[in-house]
Structure 1
Amino acid sequence: MAEHGGITPAPADEEEQVWSWGAGTDGQLGTAKLKDEHIPQLLSLTSLASISMLACGGAHVIALTSGGKVLTWGRGNSGQLGHGDMLDSSLPKPVSFFDDYFVTQASAGWSHSGFVSDSGCLFTCGNGSFGQLGHGDNMSLCSPAKVSYFADKSVKMVACGMRHSLVLFAGNQVCGFGSGKRGQLGFSSDKTKSLVNLPCLVSGLEDVEIVRIAANGDHSAAISANGHMFSWGRGFCGSPDVQTPHCFHSSLSFRDVALGWNHALLLTADGEVSKLGNTLNKQFKKQQVQVDSSEPLLEKVAGFDGVKVVQIAAGAEHSAAITESGEVQTWGWGEHGQLGLGNTNDHNNPQLVSLGSIDQRTQETKVYCGSGFTYVVSRIQKLSSS
């Protein structure tokens, strides 16, 4: 899910605004109401002050504070909230397990969670029935546990998909574990036919400097330091599944990738957004092009001509972007109101989301997508009292 792309902590003369909308029946919107919201809801939650990043999963949210603390909320039926139980929470609740740790990065999968500490340790909790927690078994955990494989390997980043996990660690190496039936673990074909509950190295990236990883659905991806995008797992646009990382051939230099269930968004260093696949099932079925090709079609996202995009995010079947001017744009599937447009309509092209009348100067805005919901965190310059 969309889990990297942190926001700079707000200085004393600035404040944060947190907005959420979309699917909310499991408490994932943090509004204390178990209902969908079709327009952005401004959250008045003091516990969410000074957010460094959010991670949005199937129906749960992880927030990290600038002080390295962890709060979670939403669906907790598999223990993915890390509170020691399997209960939902409609409001952010601190994860007491991390009281003595400083957590720097986190990821939320469909029903499991991963956390990286400043010392390079990896912790996981939630659904482990496919081995996606990496502890060598298929047990689920309702409290975070350290993944022993990485005890001396200095983890940089974790990315949680539907039923699998990826980890980037020192030496720019990438490991995968969990379900690999669509090739999303990046192993040779003899290993993808069974569940893998211990981390194994992804094939073919040993000599590549990887700087970002992403996972969602049955897809996996990575961005290299020189701007190449590698993907593996379920094929896009009807293309065959890819068992090991495939470098996407393009003259563009990519700096970020966001994955959905049927699509990928790619962001170049120049702020151009392209896509693989489609966010809408009906569109996907009509446009299954290049079925016999191993290289899916890369298309530029319409609607951003002359506009520089600074951040992208992808939910299960919707997409979001932040422009250089701080505008929030969404498109794709809208059944739960996750586009924030006041209705449940689908949209093929980016649409402007209104966050109300803000008369303060926005310093920085970040967007995060869960499977059917969206969050925006804005850092706002406070008005002078004089």
Structure 2
Amino acid sequence: MFNSLTKLLSARNINFCTKCNFALVKTNIPSSKDYIKDMPINQYVISPHKRNRVYVWGNLRTGALGIPHSKKKENIHQVMGFKSPKRMHFAENNNVMSVAAGFGFTLYATENEVFGTGINAESQIGYHEVRHDKPLGLLFAPMSIHLDAFSTVKNGKINKISAGRAHSAVLTNTGLYLFGSNAYGQCGRKVIEDEVYSGSRILNFVENIDGKKITDVVCGQDHTLVILEDGSVYSCGWGADGQTGLGHYNSTDNFAQIKGDVAGERITHLACRSDFVLALTDKNEVFGWGNTEYSQMSLSDGSQQVCNPTHLSAFNKIGKVTSVATGGSFCLALTETGDVYVWGFGLLGLGPLVQETKIPTVIPRTLFGHNEFNNDSKVVSVHAGLSHMAAITNKGDLYTWGRNRSYCLGLGFDKDQYFPLKVALGGAVKDVSCGLDHMIAVCNSYISEQVE
């Protein structure tokens, strides 16, 4: 019986094993090696124009991430925010050069156009009509911001964007545009009593100040600072904590020059996320002013508000400072050797037992990936949100720490972080902007590219 069955199966190209009682089917399928060899090769182009990639994470409900969200119950965590970086499709069609995170809104700049998304209750991302002249108060996708005459300028270029609590600044090669809330004169124009900012079409254009070109702009919470071509600094807006640096605590609705210890100095860099300012000169000297109630500055008379720029001599001991950043209650400074110093109050990156220090204290380099196998790695820039911090290395790695409000650290979990921790991103980070509860990172198209 088995012999006849074996012959029958063999005729049908099937072998039968009498020991194991199962059949083996003969096929003409080539070996895996030959099969793979003959397969067509498809090359997937990651970024045909080598555009920058943009990743966003944090609070999703304000629209600041520029990604519409689902309201399904099973996606409740996604409704609150993205715990990890999410790549923006908007940047695939627009070559985003820089970004600026405000309080619940975001600005994106290409070479000659600015876009905005998120909260627009005070026209901080421009006027956007729905119908019947009804303005949009919340945008869930980036929309172009019309900058009046600049839109028709030939060879127009966006040099810098900055975002405050509810106002924005766009520096172009023709001058500075300011828009949004002007309740304290932060847009550099006269304060109008009972002015309604919702649906406002007003743009304040400042071509120059005292005949000098504006080279940089930084928005604080409710004030604005600019650097002119000669290195002098001017400010306007809310000054109750001394953050305007004008020698008084009154608000001002036009740009006025900051003097004090910075008089005669050439300022190259300003940092202000809230109401305390750090300034860096071409000689790598550091100056500060504003709200110091959290030990941002230690003064002999115990003052908590400083309205005159003051030289911070303590930095002479830590080496040449190349970058500074300020948050709501803390500060950061970066030296040319790549050491990151922190001071003030908050989750400073020094562990759960150290939440306040009056003295600039270094965060160990090993926490930023420096070790004997990676001894050429060092931090090249520092950044600050209101209650969290970030650092970028020369390898293009991003590290974050601090309060994890609405997952703004991008680390994949919702707990606060006491030490710097690396964020998983699909590219080498070039720049990052920290908002109140969200972040945006601009990356190279290819992860092998390093940040200079």
TM range (shorter): 0.7 to 0.9
1:124 aligns with 2:178: yes
Among 384, 399, 409, the alignment partner of 1:314 is 384
Q: What's the CA shift string for 1:84-142, capped at 9, x where partnerless? A: 545221111111224234321111001100111113x1110011101111112245454
1:237–1:284 CA contact under 8 A, matched in 2: no
Question: 1:296-326 CA distances to partner (integer Å, 9 max, x unpaired)?
Answer: 4111124235540122211110111112222
Unmatched segments (≥5 aa) in structure 1: 1-9, 290-295
C-alpha contact (below 8 Å) 1:312/1:367 kept by paired residues: no
Equivalent residue for 1:83? Answer: 127
One-letter amino acid of the counterpart of residue 122, structure 2: S
Residues in 1 aligned to 2:49 and 2:251: alpha-carbon distance in whole angstroms: 50
Contact 1:149/1:199, CA 8 A, preserved across alignment: no
- Aligned counterparts of 1:378 and 1:149: Cα–Cα separation in 2: 32
Residue 197 of structure 1 corresponds to 253
Alignment of 1:1-386 (within 5 A): 14-33=50-69, 35-46=80-91, 49-65=94-110, 67-83=111-127, 85=135, 87-97=137-147, 98-100=150-152, 101-119=156-174, 121-138=175-192, 139=195, 140=197, 141-147=200-206, 150=209, 152-188=211-247, 191-192=248-249, 194-204=250-260, 205-235=262-292, 237-238=294-295, 239=298, 240-249=304-313, 250-251=315-316, 252-280=319-347, 296-302=358-364, 303-304=367-368, 307-355=377-425, 358=426, 362=427, 365-381=430-446
Q: CA offset at residue 151 of structure 1?
A: 7.5
CA RMSD in angstroms comes to 2.7
Q: Comparing both structures, which one devotes a greater share of its residues to strand?
A: 1
Q: Which 5+ residue runs of structure 2 have no aligned equivalent?
A: 1-45, 70-78, 129-134, 299-303, 372-376
**CA 1:73–1:133: 2 relative to 1, 3 Å:** same
After TM superposition, give the deviation of residue 340 of structure 1 in Å: 0.9
SS in 1 for 2:151: helix
**1:288 Cα deviation (Å)?**
5.1
More RCO (CA 8 Å, sep 6+) = 1
Q: CA offsets per residue over residues 182-214 of structure 1, 9 Å max, x none?
A: 1101122xx31x221111111222210111112
| Distance in 1, Cα, partners of 2:292 & 2:437 | 22
Q: CA deviation at 1:159?
A: 0.7
Does the 8 Å contact 1:62/1:108 carry over to 2?
Answer: yes
Of 91-100 and 156-165, more deviation after overlay is shown by 91-100
Give the residue type in structure 2 aligned to 1:247: H
Q: Give the Cα–Cα distance (whole angstroms) in 1 for the partners of residues 163 and 241 of structure 2.
A: 20
TM-score, length-scaled by structure 1: 0.85
Q: Would you say the 8 A contact 1:86–1:142 is kept in 2?
A: no
Code of the aligned partner of 1:69: E
TM-score (norm 2): 0.73
| CA–CA separation in structure 1 for the residues paired with 2:440 and 2:285 | 28
Which has the higher Rg, Structure 1 or Structure 2?
A: 2
Q: Secondary structure of 1:237's match?
A: coil
Letter in 2 for 1:169: L
Question: CA offsets, 1:8-63, max 9 Å, x none?
Answer: xx996623321111112110011122641111111112576322211111111111
Between Structure 1 and Structure 2, the one with more helix by share is 2
